[in-house]
Amino acid sequence: MGPIEFAVDYTSSNTKARLGRLSTPHGVIRTPVFMPVGTQATVKAMSPRELVEVGAEIVLANTYHLYLRPGHDLVSRAGGLHGFMAWDRSILTDSGGFQVFSLGEMRKISEEGVTFRSHLDGSAHFISPEISMEIQMALGADIAMVFDECAPYPADYSYTKDSMEMTSRWARRCLAAHNRADQALFGIVQGGMYADLRKASADDLVSLDFPGYGIGGLSVGEPKGLMYEMLEVTVPRLPRDKPRYLMGVGSPDCLLEGVMRGIDMFDCVLPTRIARHGSVFTRNGTLTVRNAAFSQDFAPLDPGCDCYTCQNFSRAYIRHLLRSGEILGVRLTTIHNLRFLIRLMEEIRASIAEDALPKLRDSFLEQYNEGPQ
């Protein structure tokens, strides 16, 4: 038995959605789940107890950032990420691949690994599959991810095929290098926007028998319809009894559509990032609470929301805080946005149990896309 266990409790009869429980050394995660992103070992503006309060059961941290600062050795000596950031629930680390490839001109890819310059000070670094494993084992998350290449969008067939095949070879190297017994290692399906490459990638990774599978290289600028197509060709080739994680996706519509296509896990910086720019999710679409329209609006951000922000503070007050550069403003919008997505996942799980997910999707999106009354 591995470090994690995944149980599918129910598979919906009218969609590919399923209800599951993912057990890690740090607790049980009800799936489908949305994972807040804590890039630098902190979910921006949130404290650990506030994360518990909004219902987060697992957070993501970024290997690339933590490798550069404060360094994985320091984190390891602090008791790993859990001890360092005082978070006793589950953690997943990405592999650093996506972050490094996002550096563009500042990185160079070879079969051996990736040479890149730090975005902090320009210093030169090298990460290979083996080094990514070493870093992630030191960080000590419950779930680590293989070091992959995320092809850009658009990318031609030949580039995407070569990239996907290297990702498969790297997956083998990661498996060989990974030896931390209390940490699970997930594979990552690549293949860009080409159905046959997605299938080949999935089949090859499944042959390696990972305890879970990420689907990478989506939500990179392509139309959403194309992303859904790729899910539809990929998910059916993944084992039913393993969790499926759609990486970097987190808008409300994509969560609904992803779950309907059989996805169990999601992560995205969207809720925390837009919160810092003064935008919040509501049932009637996003609302830019910084706008003058809300200066005298004493309603909560989203009537009916059960979060600390909506239970205590008005749009007018939050607008005042944001305009005045007060930290509490960003704190309150962040709490709300995370709670909004996590609560949506709770509703999604409840609807799966009643075979009512298509109905929830339709009614949610109708109201969401209609905008404010």
- Interactions with a copy of itself, residue window 51-110 (CB under 8 A): 69-70, 74, 77-78, 84-86
E strands, the chain, in order? 5-11, 18-24, 27-31, 33-35, 58-61, 90-93, 107-109, 114-117, 124-127, 143-145, 184-189, 213-215, 244-246, 265-267, 279-280, 287-288
Rank residues 47 and 102 by Cβ distance to a copy of itself and give the closer one: 47
Active-site residue, selected from the candidate residues 94, 142, 204, 302: 94
CA terminus-to-terminus distance, the chain = 53
- The helix (run of H) or strand (run of E) holding residue 186 is strand 184-189
Per CB under 8 A, which region of 150-158, 178-186, 254-262, 325-333 contacts a copy of itself?
A: 325-333
Rank residues 107 and 276 by Cβ distance to a copy of itself and give the closer one: 276
Per CB under 8 A, which region of 45-53, 122-130, 160-168, 283-291 contacts a copy of itself?
A: 45-53
316 forms part of the interface with a copy of itself (CB under 8 A): yes
Per CB under 8 A, which region of 155-163, 226-234, 327-335, 338-346 contacts a copy of itself?
A: 327-335
Size (the chain), residues: 373
Answer yes or no: 94 catalytic: yes
Per CB under 8 A, which region of 46-54, 142-150, 216-224, 242-250 contacts a copy of itself?
A: 46-54
Rank residues 41 and 171 by Cβ distance to a copy of itself and give the closer one: 41
Rank residues 3 and 83 by Cβ distance to a copy of itself and give the closer one: 83
Radius of gyration of the chain, Cα coordinates, nearest whole angstrom: 20
Closest residue by Cα to residue 139 from 107, 103, 182, 188? 182
User: Residue 8: phi, psi to the nearest 5?
Assistant: -90, 115
Among 13, 123, 324, 373, binds a copy of itself (CB under 8 A): 324
Active-site residue, selected from the candidate residues 264, 267, 306, 355: 267
SS3 label, residue 168: helix
Among 52, 298, 362, 370, binds a copy of itself (CB under 8 A): 298
Return the amino acid letter for 349. Answer: R
User: Residue 261: phi, psi to the nearest 5?
Assistant: -100, 15
In Å, what is the CA distance from 356 to each residue of 17, 20, 103, 256, 322?
11, 17, 42, 12, 39
Rank residues 189 and 338 by Cβ distance to a copy of itself and give the closer one: 338
Is there a contact between 100 and 64 (Cβ–Cβ < 8 Å)?
yes
295 forms part of the interface with a copy of itself (CB under 8 A): yes
Catalytic residues: 94, 267
- Residues lying near a copy of itself in the complex (CB under 8 A) are found at 40-42, 44-49, 69-70, 74, 77-78, 84-86, 295-296, 298, 308, 312-314, 316-317, 320-321, 323-324, 326-328, 330-331
